[in-house]
Amino acid sequence: MDKMFCMQCEQTAGGVACTRSGVCGKGASTAALQDTLTGALISASRDGGGLSDELLLRGLFATLTNVNFDDGSLDALIAEVGRESYDLYTVWDADEDTRSLKTLLLLGVRGVAAYAYHSFVLGYDVAEICSFIRKALSAVAEPDWGLKELLPLVMDCGRVNLDALALLDKANTESFGTPEPTVVSRAVEPGPFIVVSGHDLHDLRLLLEQTEGSGVNVYTHGEMLPAHGYPGLRKFAHLKGNFGGAWQEQQKEFDGVPGAFLFTTNCLMPPKAGYADRVFTTASVAYPGLWHIDGKDFKPVIAKALELGGYSETQPGGTFTTGFGHGAVLANAGAIVEAVKSGAIKRFYLIGGCDGAKEGRSYFTELAKLTPADSVILTLACGKYRFNDIDFGTVAGLPRLLDMGQCNDAYGAVKVAMALAEAFECGVNELPLSFVISWYEQKAVSILLTLLYLGIKNIKLGPSLPAFVSPNVLKYLVDNFGVSAVSTPEGDLYK
């Protein structure tokens, strides 16, 4: 099987589509199986015949970028769904506007599904969210639907994603407490250790419980960094700190490291021979040859960490600060409002979203560095690794850089923006607030749709615009929302 068509992420080949193999490392057979799985989920959504919410979400999660590279596990998922697959090439071959809107909808619900899955595993009711996902998947297979029918559904996807994010915010804070500002060490202590990557806090808690008293320390990686802010997770003394930097550095940073790695969600890169024997996956993540943990018994990961033994001496590192979720930021709302009124704070920048390997992403570092001393940078998701090791100083008694959490915590940024608008009795678009969003994978697509649903205008999107946005759909986004591609850091500073 050598035919594939995938344009779902920002690094798609030539800015158009991966058609022979994925820039992410995904092979053509894997891409074809992900299409078959998606098609089977579409068929199941159309026939209304009792596909469980859990399988719907788990299946969609397996199609996200940098999650599942394993044909065997995708085959098993397709068999579990047990439906004849709707042929996605009828979408890819449609006229460009239909293809664009159907793709936006499909990728949007992939993002929604990922957020809902995290709530589901914490025991929260995702039935309403799943019912929208089924409706959206059904729409992808409507042969005669065009702009008139699809555009409202695309916008509605933003609304449902807001619900999914709000539910996840509730699930996380009820399960682990309200995040508190926390300084996180980047040093690695001597002795055996496990590094946990991805977004799933539930998996992290299970691992912390299972490693308690074992002599194995636990470190976060990538999007797991904000876990340190939660009282219910930081109470584990062996949750020591954060390992490494941006996800796209993993092939360099993991090489030869004497610890075990556990991926709970994206972003997994194809592992190199120098460390593949110590990488484990769970939930929707899978890669051929890696040990997959089903059933959440992490004994093999713990055994591997003990076998490798860790470092004999402390590996030095600096610190990161995290834990400025909406709870912590809004606890300072009075001081922030006063600082804006007195002129001590003149502008807020929301610089957040995904990271990635492209050179153009240095834009986000440069922009953050250029922000003036009387401004606050709100950030979230893994794009922050472009600048979270920089000391931006303080303003009005607060750090200038406030890490609000994972992409999963985007609801917090929305809440803060709404609270500021209320305090100043204006709309969000009237606030001195710039949205500069870096995107890479499908969760960022769903967040963009949420920001549009909320009527937020003049979002800067980068490092490039999605390949699946047709000229007409782009015109709609520009005319109605002022969405634009990032230009230069200097040029975008006050826009």
Q: Which region, left, alpha or beta, applies to residue 194 given φ > 0 means left and ψ of -120 to 50 means alpha?
A: beta
> Can you tell me which of 263, 275, 440, 468 binds ligand SF3, judged by CB under 6 A?
440
- Least distance to ligand SF4 from the beta carbon of 407, Å? 16
Q: Which stretch binds ligand SF3 (CB under 6 A): 47-55, 255-263, 391-399, 439-447?
A: 439-447
Judge contact between 47 and 83, C-beta under 8 A. yes
125: tokens are 């009711």
- Least distance to ligand SF3 from the beta carbon of 76, Å? 24
Q: Amino acid letter at 413?
A: A
- Phi and psi angles of residue 421, each rounded to the nearest 5 degrees, phi first: -60, -40
- Least distance to ligand SF3 from the beta carbon of 280, Å? 17
- Contacts with ligand SF4 by CB under 6 A lie at 6-9, 11-12, 18, 22-24, 26, 31, 65
Question: How many Cα neighbours within 13 Å face the side chain of 9?
Answer: 25
- When CB distances are held under 5 to 8 angstroms depending on the partner's kind, the choice from ligand SF4, ligand SF3, none that residue 36 binds is none
69 binding ligand SF3? (CB under 6 A): no
- When CB distances are held under 5 to 8 angstroms depending on the partner's kind, the choice from ligand SF4, ligand SF3, none that residue 444 binds is ligand SF3
Q: Which is nearer to ligand SF4, 18 or 56 (CB)?
A: 18
421: tokens are 């608008």
Q: Which is nearer to ligand SF3, 263 or 392 (CB)?
A: 263
Distance CA 159, CA 454 (A): 8
Q: Which is nearer to ligand SF4, 34 or 182 (CB)?
A: 34
Judge contact between 361 and 369, C-beta under 8 A. no
Q: Which is nearer to ligand SF4, 68 or 281 (CB)?
A: 68
441 binding ligand SF3? (CB under 6 A): yes
- Angle among Cα 4, 5, 11 to the nearest 5 degrees reads 115
Q: Which is nearer to ligand SF4, 102 or 205 (CB)?
A: 102
220 binding ligand SF3? (CB under 6 A): no
Q: Which is nearer to ligand SF3, 24 or 395 (CB)?
A: 24
Cross-strand pairs, 399: 394
Q: How are strands ordered across the β-sheet holding 460-462? A: 401-403, 375-379, 347-353, 433-438, 460-462, 484-485
- Phi and psi angles of residue 94, each rounded to the nearest 5 degrees, phi first: -70, 175
- When CB distances are held under 5 to 8 angstroms depending on the partner's kind, the choice from ligand SF4, ligand SF3, none that residue 286 binds is none
Q: Which is nearer to ligand SF4, 188 or 448 (CB)?
A: 448
The gap from C-alpha 398 to its chain's centroid, in whole angstroms, comes to 26
Would you tell me how many other CB atoms lie within 10 Å of the CB of residue 391?
10
- Least distance to ligand SF4 from the beta carbon of 487, Å? 24
- Least distance to ligand SF4 from the beta carbon of 467, Å? 8
> Can you tell me which of 267, 283, 376, 402 binds ligand SF3, judged by CB under 6 A?
267
> Can you tell me which of 126, 201, 382, 452 binds ligand SF3, judged by CB under 6 A?
382
- When CB distances are held under 5 to 8 angstroms depending on the partner's kind, the choice from ligand SF3, ligand SF4, none that residue 263 binds is none
- Least distance to ligand SF3 from the beta carbon of 114, Å? 9
- When CB distances are held under 5 to 8 angstroms depending on the partner's kind, the choice from ligand SF3, ligand SF4, none that residue 23 binds is ligand SF4
195 binding ligand SF3? (CB under 6 A): no
- Angle of helix 201-211 relative to helix 147-176, nearest 10 degrees, comes to 30
Q: How far is CA 160 from CA 253, 415, 447, 451, in A?
A: 37, 16, 10, 12
Q: Which of 295, 248, 246, 292 is nearest to 270 (CA)?
A: 248
Total residue length of the chain:
495
Judge contact between 364 and 383, C-beta under 8 A. yes
State which of positions 301-360 bind ligand SF3 (CB under 6 A).
354-355
Q: Which of 286, 308, 282 is nearest to 295 (CA)?
A: 282
290 binding ligand SF3? (CB under 6 A): no
Q: Which is nearer to ligand SF3, 222 or 259 (CB)?
A: 222
